[in-house]
Structure 1
């Protein structure tokens, strides 16, 4: 299953935000900023990545439901793949 970029605008925005946060975290570490501030920003970046991942999976699920894999074997295989994806974010 391929995901269309236009359907993932929100996820892409979150990933760009996380990219900026990670660049900021690197700068903070290089500047010797307070540990608590660095950890706070790391948590925010991690949450942004998680939310982007869930948005991508949700889009995939929506497509699977809309397309409806026709063969039972395909449905089970799709379910197994999606389950693995969810668990990888847990």
Structure 2
């Protein structure tokens, strides 16, 4: 099994994702209880921000580790890693 750079931060990432999971369960509960629509939208915004924070953390680590290592090694791998990161950024910006 491949061990990626974030294995040392795995617990922190999982904790943040469990928090997002709890927020989504709370949203389901709010809809089930006919909560005020603006309150639901506010909580959706908070869950989106939390997921974005996780994504940015992963992206930062990917650039600092995967892309930097590939660049140090040189060759086609570096260009591929930069393209991969660029594509990931584009997906994040669109979402």
Q: TM-score range by the shorter chain?
A: 0.7 to 0.9
Which of 22, 39, 53 aligns to 1:51? It is: 53
Greater relative contact order: 1 or 2 (C-alpha under 8 angstroms, separation 6 or more)? 1
Q: Distance in 2 between matches of 1:81 and 1:68?
A: 12
CA contact (8 A) 2:24 2:47 kept: yes
Aligned residues: 89
In the alignment, what sits opposite 1:41? 43
Cα contact 2:6–2:61 (8 A) shared by 1: no
Q: TM-score scaled by structure 1? A: 0.86
Where structure 2 has 5 or more consecutive residues not aligned to the other structure, the ranges are: none
Alignment of 1:3-82 (within 5 A): 3-64=5-66, 65=68, 67-69=69-71, 70-82=73-85
CA contact (8 A) 1:8 1:56 kept: no
